């Protein structure tokens, strides 16, 4: 029997997905002892609730700080694979990915950036991978951290709503 091109394409995509997933699990990129589904649920539900509470505490400590928006995501395995194919020099394999977990936050003024950076560094920053203010596509402060569970977390801090909406 013959296999249609559609089935080969689906089969090939499934193989790429499984290969990528296995490598990410091998290097514990979802956190120690976690698979993708557990890590996604933990990050997007449990961690979101804890972080929301911790940010409320931070607002109470830092006079004038307002947090307009908080979003969190777990990058899907297909996106990770696609990024390694699109930028092989920078990301030779899925284990080189440094933004599997993401936080995007909008604060009311750049004046509070230092307090917010300190907060995130103390909460997640076992190791700072890199940090920089970016302004090419949109103005944002990027902070990439690795926490004690081994998760790589990209944090984007915006202080201008128009810039936040560009992203």
Output the pTM of the full model: 0.86
The SS3 assignment for 115 reads helix
| CA separation for the pair 117, 3 (Å, rounded) | 53
Residue 29: count of CB within 10 angstroms of its CB: 23
Each residue of 104-143: pLDDT tens digit?
Answer: 999 999 999 999 999 999 999 888 888 888 888 888 999 9
Phi-psi region of 103 (alpha: psi -120 to 50; beta: other; left: phi over 0): beta
Each residue of 2-43: pLDDT tens digit?
Answer: 444 445 555 666 688 899 999 999 989 999 989 999 999 999
Q: What is the crossing angle of helices 113-124 and 48-61, to 10°? A: 140
């Amino acid at each position: 029997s013959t296999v249609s091109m559609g089935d080969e394409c689906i089969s090939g995509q499934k193989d790429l997905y499984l290969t990528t997933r296995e490598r990410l699990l091998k290097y514990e990129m979802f956190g120690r002892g976690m698979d993708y589904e557990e890590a996604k649920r933990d990050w997007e539900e449990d961690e979101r609730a804890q972080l929301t509470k911790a940010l409320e505490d931070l607002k109470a400590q830092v006079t004038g700080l307002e947090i307009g928006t908080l979003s969190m995501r777990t990058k899907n395995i297909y996106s990770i694979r696609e990024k390694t194919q699109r930028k092989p020099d920078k990301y030779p394999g899925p284990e080189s990915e440094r933004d599997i977990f993401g936080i995007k936050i909008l604060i009311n003024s750049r004046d509070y950036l230092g307090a917010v950076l300190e907060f995130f560094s103390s909460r997640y920053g076992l190791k700072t991978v890199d940090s920089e203010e970016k302004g090419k596509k949109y103005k944002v402060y990027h902070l990439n951290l690795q926490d004690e569970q081994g998760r790589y977390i990209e944090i984007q801090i915006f202080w201008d709503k128009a810039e936040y909406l560009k992203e």
